[in-house]
Structure 1
Amino acid sequence: MATQPDIPRHVAIIMDGNGRWAKQRGLPRLEGHRAGAESVREVMEASIELGVEYLTLYAFSSENWNRPAAEVTALMGLLDRFLKEKAKDLDRQNVRLLAIGQLDRLPAKTRALIEQIQERTTNHTALTLVLALSYGSREEIVSAAKSLASDAVAGIIDPTDITNELFASRLHTAGMPDPDLLIRTSGEMRVSNFLLWQISYAEMVIVKKFWPEFRQGDLFEAVQEYQRRHRRFGAL
């Protein structure tokens, strides 16, 4: 679907506040993560309606591996369940799935499920849903630098030939447009090691609601705020 000029091609979201949402209600943290899955459905449907081409969700950071083992295991179980339940929806809604991050750290069955769904949805065109899993932007940038350094040592490239475009081609997001709009829920004012290279010129919208409270109307409001901005990209 062709995107209108005033609709962001790529929306990236830091889905924050699941644990605090649950705590406010006297619920286990895991219930907050479960509730957040409904927000994912709503935002995906709203993105299709708007004509957004890429929706990237910060689902599990590389730092999240440091959480208690029981919580990590439960989160991986929720991820498996989400993927299985949403696979048919992705087909029905013509949505392509991609996953980025240090995917080799995920459980083998989770990786296999992701690979299966990615292959199954590869030709879907209504929206590309990108899940950032076991993802950390600093690690991504270091990996890209190592890749280029290795090629330079091998004589495959000359260091003077390294450009922004070449560097970007070694990132997990190679081939994707950079995010136009970055949304963070829960009111926090941080980017939390998320797409540091890619969001250089993204417009940021901070939403005070916790992620499980985020709905289609909230995405529409964030896009309206984006439309009111004048993107100068460093110019006057």
Structure 2
Amino acid sequence: MTVGTPQKLLAEALGTALLLTVVIGSGIMAERLSGGNVAIALLANTLATVCGLYILIQVFGPISGAHFNPAVSLVMAARGELPKGLLAPYIAMQLLGAMLGAWLAHAMFDMNILQFSTKLRTGNGQWIAEGVATFGLLLVILRAPAGRASTMVAAYIGAAYWFTASTSFANPAAVFGRMFSDSFAGIAPASAPGFVFAQLVGAGIAVGVHHVLSPKAANAKAHESAAGTSSKARHV
């Protein structure tokens, strides 16, 4: 059965909203229960994110591709795997979903729904970390064997929570949503542009590296194109 555009856009909005609810909600719960132990709070936040992300990709993947991430949608549109006409609507739904997900997390924990983060995340280390996190995420997505993307993406993000200085946002929509939460998982609006720029750079590098790692596919495509041109020439 063909999935229509409204269903795809709803899946992206709902999936991104639930992802941000998982990330922010688990951060709030972890901070409240950890007794000030930041390592324990981050571990709890990581485990919840890994499990939630895996499930959400499984649920919404067959409908919209489960991007939940403007960087992913941009790369897929550039590769022709997402119609270019859907790129802007996908990103709009992801941003809207991210904001609504933050508000839902606040509502569940009896916090002020409307708020902005005051948590500054800036500096070369943070920006490099976001570039690395997004590079790895896109490379995993582009090179994951069929049917294994959900497991590999969730596992990578879980690892990147710990090996990157930024705790791996790796997603412009996540940055946008987390601006609206003055909680453990938040990011100050002033810090957002640097994160998003680094993420887009990381995504671009991942696409380049993917092509370098796939010379046979590129050569085969070039050969097919040349063969087709030669065949046409013979029939002129």
Q: Same fold (TM over 0.5)?
A: no
Larger helix fraction of residues: 2
| TM-score category of the 2 structures, normalised to the smaller one | 0.3 to 0.5
Q: State the TM-score, normalizing by the size of structure 2.
A: 0.33
Indicate the structure with greater strand content: 1
TM-score (norm 1): 0.33
Q: Mark the structure with the bigger radius of gyration.
A: 2
